[in-house]
């Protein structure tokens, strides 16, 4: 049962244009949503996050939007750069005093074409 879904396994974007990566979730108990970037043979690297009580968070070229009613979030990268080519994982976290769980989506491979 996949609680966090990324329905696009891959995405190609021209350099300088906007990249939009999508993520859907099923569990309304998630407190926090995160995006990670992963290069081959490396561990995932944290990119940006958003609390479940917010609808937008921006950090430089990266913006995450959260639509709680649709249980949907998206990561916008603008402008896209070749160095952004990587696998992007959406993750959702439940944080309680004695329970802390993070569930990852299957990832979307982004290729930014120069």
Partner 1 sequence: DTAVSQTPKYLVTQMGNDKSIKCEQNLGHDTMYWYKQDSKKFLKIMFSYNNKELIINETVPNRFSPKSPDKAHLNLHINSLELGDSAVYFCASSAVYEQYFGPGTRLTVT
**Which residues contact partner 1 (rule: CB under 8 A)?**
32, 34, 36, 41-46, 49, 87, 89, 93, 95, 98-104, 106-107
Question: Is the CB of 79 or the CB of 102 nearer to partner 1?
Answer: 102
Alpha-carbon distances, residue 98 vs 95, 101, 111 (angstroms): 8, 10, 39
Shortest distance, position 91 Cβ to partner 1, whole Å: 8
Nearer to partner 1, 14 or 35 (CB): 35
Distance, CA of 18 to CA of 70 (rounded, Å): 22
> Residue 69: phi, psi to the nearest 5?
-65, -35
CB of 44 to partner 1, least distance (A): 5
């Amino acid at each position: 049962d996949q609680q966090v879904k990324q329905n696009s396994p891959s995405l190609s974007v021209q350099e300088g244009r906007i990249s939009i990566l999508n993520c859907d979730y099923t569990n309304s108990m998630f407190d926090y949503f995160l995006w990670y970037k992963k290069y081959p043979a490396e561990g995932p690297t944290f990119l940006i996050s958003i609390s479940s009580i917010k609808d937008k968070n921006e950090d430089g070229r990266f913006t995450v939007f959260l639509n709680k009613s649709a249980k949907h979030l998206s990561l916008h990268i603008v402008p896209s750069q070749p160095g952004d080519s990587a696998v992007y994982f959406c993750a959702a976290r439940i944080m309680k005093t004695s329970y802390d769980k993070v569930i990852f989506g299957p990832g979307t491979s982004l290729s930014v074409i120069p």
